[in-house]
Structure 1
């Protein structure tokens, strides 16, 4: 699920794998839904398809499609802490092309943008079990000077009781959920991170949306 439409608050000059044709989008959603596994009656399936067609823009059909909420924005309260600037960590030569591709994709998606921030956190590369690469930002020093939020979570038992006598359940997952929450303008610079380029030039970017770990 994506918040807003494909371009709400995130216009892209070169959209990445976006499906803009209405009918094509609906057909792709139908393929992904797999109605046969829903357990719904024929009437229920018809109603579900009607809802899908009506709200098709709310659903992502690829990993590159996600919206941007206008309900809230993420802030990083560091009080009067001075900017923390850490050196970039070397990227192993065999991994540089993958890292560059990741950064280029995030730039095209308008998740990050070039920065000249006084803040800087280093990149940490993690090889996942399937052999793919995950790029993480080491925000430990930023987190250490950030005021922590406190939010009371709903009671689990009360939530379960609210499901009593319900017959149909739907599970929805936000596509790249973090990236659908915009970063406040004054705090974007605090999310800056850098990688060492091919000529050991530090490439600095900052997040326009909520970053993993911040």
Structure 2
């Protein structure tokens, strides 16, 4: 979607852009054809490392039921200890997510710098999106803006949207095609830490936790 100059909040700008795009017939747009991939296809498997997948937000804030948390260890921890642990979890319940497609609050304070050397910014042409798909794209972008997971940008770099049709042929996943940008990025080289060195750092620790990253895009 080519951008238009508009004032207001990012969501208001999105609404104006959406209304404009829905008024214009897709045959009248001087845009590259839309790219659609089917979920689970061989082509999608090859491209998955080159595309940034935006999270689905069917439920923005499902509550986490702390009472169902599996705490303590049978035969070792006492009821008092279990209650104290549940109390700690309840006190920090805002940082826990319920089941579903909820996304965590956006991380702040960390800036990721991508070294592109002397490359000039590349603003790729947007691709046309069918009106029935545009509605779903608009709804997802609006939710992402409202939750602060994406921000309006006037960057000289621009990468096109890629729509992935789910297996049911109706729902979509929205991705960003960063293949051109990836070609300019200079990869950082650093040695992997030794396992023995990592274990030394754990020798005085009492509690261990394994976390899996989610909704990274």
Are residues 1:135 and 2:171 paired?
A: no
Are residues 1:33 and 2:32 paired?
A: no
* Cα pair 2:71 2:86 within 8 Å, conserved: no
2:130 aligned residue: 92
Deviation at 1:174, TM superposition (A): 4.7
Aligned residues: 155
2:186 aligned residue: 147
* Cα pair 1:60 1:66 within 8 Å, conserved: no
> Structure 1 167/68 Cα, relative in aligned 2: closer, same or farther at 3 Å?
closer
* Cα pair 2:105 2:149 within 8 Å, conserved: no
Give the superposed CA RMSD: 3.7
Moved more, 53-62 or 110-119: 53-62
* Cα pair 1:64 1:109 within 8 Å, conserved: no
Deviation at 1:57, TM superposition (A): 3.4
Consecutive unaligned residues in structure 2, runs of 5 or more: 1-58
Give 3-state SS (helix, strand or coil) of 1:117's partner.
coil
Consecutive unaligned residues in structure 1, runs of 5 or more: 1-15, 20-24, 179-211
Give 3-state SS (helix, strand or coil) of 2:140's partner.
helix
Give 3-state SS (helix, strand or coil) of 1:136's partner.
strand
Q: Distance in 2 between matches of 1:148 and 1:84?
A: 19
Give 3-state SS (helix, strand or coil) of 2:151's partner.
strand
> Structure 1 46/74 Cα, relative in aligned 2: closer, same or farther at 3 Å?
same
Q: 2:211 aligns with which of 143, 165, 172?
A: 172
* Cα pair 2:162 2:175 within 8 Å, conserved: yes
Q: Distance in 2 between matches of 1:129 and 1:159?
A: 42
2:147 aligned residue: 109
* Cα pair 1:17 1:64 within 8 Å, conserved: yes
* Cα pair 1:125 1:133 within 8 Å, conserved: yes
Scaled by the length of structure 1, the TM-score of the pair is 0.55
Which structure has the bigger radius of gyration?
2
Q: 1:45 aligns with which of 82, 96, 119?
A: 82
Q: Distance in 2 between matches of 1:85 and 1:41?
A: 58
Scaled by the length of structure 2, the TM-score of the pair is 0.55
